[in-house]
Structure 1
C-alpha cells in the first residue's frame, strides 16, 4: 500500500508544470523510486494550452512515476481535487498546486514524521516564490511563512487548540496540511463552483482529526502570480470569501469545541478578515447600487453566520488585547455596511 498520494490538479499551467512535478519526482526517487510507496496523481481539467501534452511527455520521461487522469469537461479546481481523492490509494493525501513546488527534503521529513508519530494531520510552513525576490520581500519574511501558531515538533491532541492556532494566522490552504485519507469520508469534499475552497474545507477536515504534528519548516514554495484569486477579485469571489467559514461554524456547534474561548476568538477573527476583504472589494465595485447593496447584505449576513462572537464582542476582545488596528478596521467596515443600509 502507498503511504502517500500527492494530488496535482492541472489547468493551463504549461509554463510551470514540469518544475512542479520534477520537484516531487526527484524526492520520490531519493526515497526509492517505484518502491518509495508514493503515488503522484496528475489530473488535467481540460486545459486549453499544452498542459495535457506535457503531462504525457513527462509520464514518458518518468515511466511508472506519474498516474495520469483527465476530466472530459472543465469542472474547476474543487472537482479536480475531488476526483483525485476518490482515486487515491495512499494512506496520506498531499494536495499540491501545479504552479507550486515541493522544497528539497520535504518528502523525507514527512515520511519520518508519519512513521514515528502517525498523526492524522501534518502541518507545514511555506515560502513565497517570486520571479524576483527583493530585500523588501525578505524583510517581510517571505522565505519562511508560518502556517500555525502552536507548538512544533511534537504530537498534538487538543483539537480545539490546534484549530485555533490554524485559524489565527489564517493560512488555510490545502497544500500546507497533509491528512489521512480516512478523514475524507464521502460527505467531505471540496465545494464545486466555489472560490476560497481551501478555507471552506480544511477546517472541516481538521475537525475530524484526533492527532496533529506541526513541522515548522517550509516544505512548499508558493508561487505568487498576478492571476491569483486575491489578485483578480470579482463579485462571486467576494461573496464566497465572506461565506467560506459558515459551514465550519455550523459543524463546530455539534462538536466538543463549540465553547472553547480561544477557538471562538480565532474563528471570529478570521470571519472578520473575510468580511473586511469582501467589503473592501464591494466598496469599489462597478455596477448598479442595488447589486452592490445586495452583495453587501449577503457579506454581512455571512459574517454573522460564521462568527461565534457578535461584532461588539469581537471589538471588545480586540481592545482587551491591544489589537487597536484590527478593532479600527472592523469598525470602519461595519460602519460602511451600515451606511449602505445593511443592519448590524
Structure 2
C-alpha cells in the first residue's frame, strides 16, 4: 500500500449500531490501496465499535481503523478525525448515510486530472421510510468543471445554502490552514460555522455532477434537537461566518449574498422554534432576533429589500421573497405570525400522529 493514502474517509459514529454496517459496507467495497477508512467511535454506549471491527476480516486489504474516545459530540468527533486521518484529501461521511457506488473512483479521477482544493458532489435527500418523498439535490457550480475563481466558488456556495461538510472533499492542507479546532466543540451547526472558512481558502473547485451520498432523513430528528440553546447556536454560527469574512477579502456583492443566506437560515430556525412551548419559543425567538442583527454586514431592512427586489443571483426568487416577508413578521414580533406558525406546527404533529 502507498505510505500515504490519497483519500481518507472519516466516519464519526455515536450509538450508530442500527446503521453502521450498512453505511460502511458500500465504502469498503469501493476502497483501493489509495484509501483509508477511519471510524471515530464517540463514546458509544452500544456495540458500534464491535460491529465495525467485525467488518475488518471481510475486507482484509482495506485500511480500516476504529478510534475510540469519550463522547464529545459530532464536532469533537470530526476534529478527532482530522487528527487521525493521513490522506491528502478528506471525505466525511455520517454514520447513517450511504456512499453511492463509484464515488471513490470518480473522486480519484478528478484528483488525478485536476488536483483541486475541493471537490463537491450532488446528493439525494433520502427518506427510506417514505421513498416517494426522496429527491435529488444538485450543486449550483458548473457541472463536471473546474472553477478557479474564489469569488465564484463562494457566491455559489452562499446561493445554494448546502452547508454539508460531507458533500465536500477538501485537501487536508485546507483543514490545516484553519483556526483550530476546525469544528466548534459543543455547538450545533458546526458545518455552517466551519464550511465557509474552508471554502474561503480554496482556489479551485471541481463539481462532480452526480449524486455521491444518500442523506438519510429521520422524521423525528429535528423535533428532538430543537431547544432554546439550539436556536442560539444556529444564530451564533451565522455570526461566526460574518466574522470570518470581516477578516477575509469579500466584495460588496458577496457580503450581501452572505447576508441573504443568513436570512434564509434565520427564518428556518424561526420556523423550527415553534416546536417549543409558547413561552420557551417566544423567549428563544426574541433572543435570536437580537443576535441576528450582529450576524449581518448590512442593516436587516436593506437585506430584506435586496431579497424582495432580486438584485443578486438566486436559485429561487420566490423563496427569497417569501423568506423576506416571514423575517419581517418574525422580527416585528407579529402575534398573528406566531399564532399561524404555532397552529401549523400543531396540525403537522397531529397528522404525523395519525399516520404513525
TM range (shorter): 0.7 to 0.9
Kept after mapping to 1: 8 A contact 2:143/2:209 = yes
Q: Please give the secondary structure, in 2, of the residue aligned with 1:309.
A: coil
Q: 1:231/1:163 Cα in 2 relative to 1: closer, same or farther (>3 Å)? A: farther
The whole-number CA distance in structure 2 between the counterparts of 1:337 and 1:214 is 42
Kept after mapping to 2: 8 A contact 1:239/1:278 = no
1:238 aligns with 2:231: yes
Deviations 1:141-184 (CA, angstroms, capped at 9, x unpaired):
x1x212x3232222112212211211222110111011000011
Q: 1:320 matched to which residue of 2?
A: 309
Q: Which runs of 5+ in 1 are unaligned?
A: none
Moved more, 9-18 or 271-280: 271-280
Measured after TM superposition, the shift of residue 24 of structure 1 is 0.5
1:329 to 326, 329, 333: 326
Kept after mapping to 1: 8 A contact 2:121/2:209 = yes
The whole-number CA distance in structure 2 between the counterparts of 1:181 and 1:171 is 21
The whole-number CA distance in structure 2 between the counterparts of 1:299 and 1:145 is 29
Kept after mapping to 2: 8 A contact 1:300/1:337 = no
Kept after mapping to 2: 8 A contact 1:6/1:41 = yes
Query: TM-score with structure 1 length normalisation?
Result: 0.87
Moved more, 170-179 or 228-237: 228-237
Q: 2:347 matched to which residue of 1?
A: none
Deviations 1:15-44 (CA, angstroms, capped at 9, x unpaired):
11111111101111xxxx3x2x10100111
1:7 aligns with 2:4: no
The whole-number CA distance in structure 2 between the counterparts of 1:3 and 1:284 is 44
Matches within 5 A, 1:138-177: 142=135, 144-146=136-138, 148-177=139-168
The whole-number CA distance in structure 1 between the counterparts of 2:271 and 2:126 is 26
1:216 aligns with 2:209: yes
The whole-number CA distance in structure 1 between the counterparts of 2:107 and 2:55 is 25
Q: 2:68 matched to which residue of 1?
A: 70
Kept after mapping to 2: 8 A contact 1:160/1:260 = no
The whole-number CA distance in structure 1 between the counterparts of 2:125 and 2:271 is 24
Q: Please give the secondary structure, in 1, of the residue aligned with 2:18.
A: helix
Higher normalized helix content (fraction of residues): 2
Matches within 5 A, 1:1-344: 1-28=4-31, 33=32, 35=33, 37-65=34-62, 66-71=64-69, 73-135=70-132, 137=133, 142=135, 144-146=136-138, 148-185=139-176, 187-188=179-180, 189-229=182-222, 232-257=225-250, 259-261=251-253, 263-283=254-274, 285-286=276-277, 289=279, 295-321=284-310, 323=318, 324-336=321-333
The whole-number CA distance in structure 2 between the counterparts of 1:339 and 1:302 is 23
- Root-mean-square deviation over aligned CA pairs: 2.2
Q: Which runs of 5+ in 2 are unaligned?
A: 311-316, 338-356
Moved more, 181-190 or 104-113: 181-190
The whole-number CA distance in structure 2 between the counterparts of 1:241 and 1:337 is 21
Moved more, 207-216 or 272-281: 272-281
Q: 1:133/1:229 Cα in 2 relative to 1: closer, same or farther (>3 Å)? A: closer
